[in-house]
């Protein structure tokens, strides 16, 4: 298996723990992470979550109890989780999973800060998104 970056660590073992809702992953450099499904969902690399550029991110809420319905391989470089809330468009490369695992503490803090700034609650349901062309007359 190869990562997207030359010489980047690659997964040696990947285990889905459904009850504790974590993805356990061991990398070739000895790193070992337990990444909560909620963190993966909140930081999904999909355009639905990240947008198409800076400032277009969609703050995710109500994801504490999200589970994985499936985890599909994508070539030799990634996996695509199918979350219980229907989200299935994020492709998590080995490099991105390593980032999530190694930066968990900072990512959780950043998430808490974004929630506070938005006056949002972590457990609140997601507000419906208004699509382009949606207006009331």
Going from N- to C-terminal start, the domains of the chain cover 12-117
For the chain, give the mean pLDDT: 89
Question: Cα–Cα distance between 92 and 86 in angstroms, integer?
Answer: 16
Cα–Cα–Cα angle for 123, 126, 129, rounded to 5 degrees: 165
The first and second tokens of residue 134, run together, are 């949606």
The first and second tokens of residue 80, run together, are 């695509």
pLDDT value, residue 4: 62
Are the CB atoms for 126 and 35 separated by under 8 Å?
no
Question: Cα–Cα distance between 134 and 5 in angstroms, integer?
Answer: 41
Residues 6+ apart with CB under 8 A from 132: none
Question: Cα–Cα distance between 48 and 93 in angstroms, integer?
Answer: 17
Phi and psi at 9, nearest 5°, equal -60, 145
pLDDT value, residue 8: 86
Residue 3: its H or E element: none
CATH 3.40.228.10 for domain 12-117: no
- Of residues 135 and 28, more confidence is placed in 28
pLDDT band of 15, cuts 50, 70, 90 = very high
3 state SS of 24: strand
Mean pLDDT within 102-126: 95
């Amino acid at each position: 298996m190869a990562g997207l970056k030359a010489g980047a660590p690659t997964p040696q073992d990947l285990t889905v723990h459904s009850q504790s809702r974590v993805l356990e992953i061991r990398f070739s450099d000895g790193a070992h992470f337990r990444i909560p499904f909620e963190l993966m969902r909140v930081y999904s690399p999909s355009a639905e979550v990240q947008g198409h550029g800076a400032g277009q991110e969609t703050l995710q809420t109500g994801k504490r109890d999200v589970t994985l319905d499936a985890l599909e391989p994508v070539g030799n470089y990634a996996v695509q989780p199918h979350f219980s809330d229907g989200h299935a468009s994020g492709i998590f490369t080995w490099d991105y999973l390593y980032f999530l695992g190694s930066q968990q503490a900072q990512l959780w803090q950043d998430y808490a800060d974004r929630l506070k700034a938005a006056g949002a609650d972590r457990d609140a349901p997601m507000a419906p998104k208004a699509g382009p062309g949606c207006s009331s007359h």
